């Protein structure tokens, strides 16, 4: 009788046009160490480049820092209880490299740091919540920054030593790993624009060297897991991609090419080496040609050796995708060859937004829900990964409890992700919304709030309060469906 009841329910669901997420779909939320933990100088933790950058006057709005943030270093049990209350079954968090290795090297391992993450993972497992762990979410140990940071190819070896220690200590309980979060943001904002740590404005050169070193570091960690831990631990490892979708301003071939170039420079810069073995050809050609015209005897885009191509190619067991917004782009044909090269000059693309798209509190974030479906189809067709997890997708406001803008944003994006699964056959297995908590939003400090849970940063106890979006999202999780 039960069997026929299930069949009838399915028929009714289909007849009513309802779509349902797969039964084992991973619904969760996300956060990152520097943005939520606090405890910046407690229990043997070393300094990170974000500790120093945030403490430098003028770098962060209102002089905010992550010294206390959400105080999740002390309140992790409360965070896990909230995840469980909402019915979530996966939590994406990152490990603070200097909390484990105070100077970034294996010469000193901080047991208190290991204990913190062991206790967090234990708490998650007891609540039947899957940990999805990011090894690096931007808080580079200061010592390694002083050795050249993401411009130093040796950083790949340091990262490998760190990854091995993390895999050894936590890998039996972690099945989903991300090596680096949004390396493109680190490279563009930290080394090209200079508005994130380490605050360097080395345009047109450091951004590509940073990307090169990031890929080497990712591949190093991937192969350490593959050869030393996979057989016993059975997990999956990937690099995180932060990609947007792009629309041509006109139907011209030039603007169509601007779309392709935007995808290459912003997404393919990491996806192509991992899935195809080299940089996108458009990047290779354009940067080489512009470098030559600028007087260089070499391309500003580093060449991979054949060994490096082989090491990087194939190092993704799934796609971790951060997707927030879309852009309208057009070709610019008259970007000059000037005395100072830059990423923007190499790309030669203008960009804007459709005026009909709702805007968030962030100057860069606009809501275009269909973009995520277009992007998933593009990534599937271009790279053919086995599966996707949407690891960041969110909306900023000023912290209102009745956050209807966030609900509208998530409803639109989740609906399009569901369409991609059901109608397009794309294997999206999970979604970790950004973010669980209001937190330290990098250069914006606490002026922008992405959380589904409000944190009172004026209260020493950092009181947490569910917003309307948390209750709405919990309903989606419990039913597997999105209300019209």
Catalytic residue set: 182, 392
Cβ neighbours of residue 87 closer than 8 Å, sequence gap 6 or more: 27, 474, 477, 478
DSSP 257: H
Q: What are phi and psi of 438, to 5 degrees?
A: -55, 135
CB atoms within 10 A of CB 226: 14
Placement of tokens 């039913």 in the chain: 479
Tell me the two tokens of residue 484.
Answer: 């019209």
Asked if 462 and 82 count as a contact pair (C-beta separation under 8 A), the reply is no
3-state DSSP of 312-367: HCCCCCCEEEECCCEEEEEECCCCCCCCCCCHHHHHCEEEECCCCCCECCCCCCEC
Read out DSSP for 185-229?
Answer: HIIIIIIIS-SSTT----TTTHHHHHHHHHHHHHHHHHHHHHHHT
Cβ neighbours of residue 343 closer than 8 Å, sequence gap 6 or more: 188, 192, 203, 204, 207, 265
Q: What are phi and psi of 442, to 5 degrees?
A: 50, -130
Termini Cα distance of the chain: 31
Listed residue (289, 478, 444, 461) closest to 362, CA to CA: 444
Listed residue (128, 147, 144, 148) closest to 136, CA to CA: 144
E strands present in 181-271 = 236-238, 240-242, 245-248
Asked if 438 and 451 count as a contact pair (C-beta separation under 8 A), the reply is yes
Tell me the two tokens of residue 62.
Answer: 């209102």
CA distance 434 to 445: 16
């Amino acid at each position: 009788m039960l069997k026929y009841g299930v069949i009838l329910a399915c028929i009714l669901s289909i007849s009513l046009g309802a779509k349902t997420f797969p039964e084992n779909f991973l619904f969760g939320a996300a956060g990152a160490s520097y943005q939520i933990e606090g405890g910046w100088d407690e229990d043997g933790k070393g300094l990170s480049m974000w500790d120093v950058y945030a403490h430098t006057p003028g770098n962060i709005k209102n002089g905010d820092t992550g010294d206390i943030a959400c105080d999740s270093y002390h309140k992790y049990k409360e965070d896990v209880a909230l995840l469980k209350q909402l019915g979530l079954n996966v939590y994406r968090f990152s490990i603070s490299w200097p909390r484990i290795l105070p100077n970034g090297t294996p010469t000193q391992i901080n047991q208190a740091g290991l204990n913190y993450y062991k206790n967090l993972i234990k708490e998650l497992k007891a609540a039947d919540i899957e940990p999805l762990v990011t090894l690096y979410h931007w808080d580079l140990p200061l010592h390694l920054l002083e050795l050249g940071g993401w411009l130093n190819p040796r950083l790949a070896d340091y990262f490998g030593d760190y990854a091995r220690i993390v895999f050894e200590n936590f890998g039996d309980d972690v099945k989903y790993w991300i090596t680096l979060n949004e390396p493109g943001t680190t490279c563009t904002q930290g080394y090209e624009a200079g508005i994130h740590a380490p605050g360097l404005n080395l345009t047109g050169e450091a951004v590509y060297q940073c990307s090169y070193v990031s890929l080497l570091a990712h591949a190093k960690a991937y192969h350490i897991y593959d050869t030393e831990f996979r057989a016993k631990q059975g997990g999956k490892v990937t690099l995180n991609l932060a990609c947007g979708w792009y629309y041509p301003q006109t139907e011209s071939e030039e603007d169509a090419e601007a779309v392709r170039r935007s995808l290459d420079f912003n997404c393919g810069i990491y996806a192509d080496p991992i899935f195809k073995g080299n940089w996108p050809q458009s990047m290779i050609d354009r940067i080489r040609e512009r470098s030559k015209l600028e007087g260089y005897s070499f391309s500003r885009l580093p060449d991979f050796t054949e060994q490096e191509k082989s090491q990087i190619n194939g190092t993704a067991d799934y796609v971790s995708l951060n997707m927030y917004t879309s852009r309208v782009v057009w070709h610019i044909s008259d970007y000059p060859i000037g005395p100072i090269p830059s990423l923007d000059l190499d790309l030669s693309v203008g960009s804007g937004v459709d005026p009909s798209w709702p805007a968030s509190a962030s100057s860069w974030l606009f809501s275009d829900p269909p973009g995520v479906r277009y992007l998933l189809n593009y990534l599937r067709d271009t790279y053919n990964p086995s599966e996707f997890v949407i690891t960041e997708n969110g909306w900023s406001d000023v912290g209102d409890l009745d956050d209807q803008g966030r609900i509208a944003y998530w409803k639109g994006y989740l609906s399009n992700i569901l369409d991609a699964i059901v109608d397009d056959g794309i294997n999206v297995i999970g979604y970790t919304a950004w973010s669980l908590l209001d937190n330290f939003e990098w250069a914006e400090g606490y002026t922008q709030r992405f959380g589904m849970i409000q944190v009172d940063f004026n209260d020493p106890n950092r009181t947490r309060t569910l917003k309307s979006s948390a209750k709405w999202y919990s309903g989606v999780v419990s039913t597997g469906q999105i209300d019209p």
